[in-house]
Structure 1
């Protein structure tokens, strides 16, 4: 299992993983949106297992040109003191094999200068596995957002000590 920067060659696999997990994600990714997000991201990474893209992650620092409502909430609430996880998605055949945990260990290290790692998780309808995963990693709910499409998201943060 290897964590590495995402490349253009990874994009078809990343888009396929994202599409297969669409029911648990706040929005879909098109090739153009993925290109744009990679351009403005702090981290765009993949986990490779046996030569296949098994998972991917996108993160953003304060001041990024991100247009998501939850990112804007974190910006207003925490100023420059957060690293935002836009998404960590694992392909179904590779779930529960440690890919997401590997990504989060790396992101927690990267987030230390920002004091906290933040994300949003669907809470209505609930992304039960995502909520449980984040709770186990020490994330707590710091807010809620209601969206125009009827969804509610839990805004989660993990405070990082020295």
Structure 2
């Protein structure tokens, strides 16, 4: 069985490569695939950091009408932006991540809270890669870096 793309790229959230985003530890676009799309990182902690930073930054973006407070502050809103329905079963993805957080997908959450961000990151890693290969310390360090 081959290693999932996100794990090979040290980018367990499968963040699209964008040269305008000079992420800490980003090495460039992925290599060795027919249609490169995702960023590559030097270590998983920096890929997890970028994942966490993006989720935190979503708070300032427009959320879905009638959900939560102003901005993106629910699992459903965050996953709708992270994994658009044009490419994913966004509702199922959001429900799976919300279950891992122990909340409803439409319930407001605070991603600046370390335990909440960690749970959200872990839910995304698990969904994007079919599981989580990382030790707790790797995820903890990526989340710590995201919150700096």
TM-score (norm 2): 0.29
Which structure is higher in strand share?
1
Which structure is higher in helix share?
2
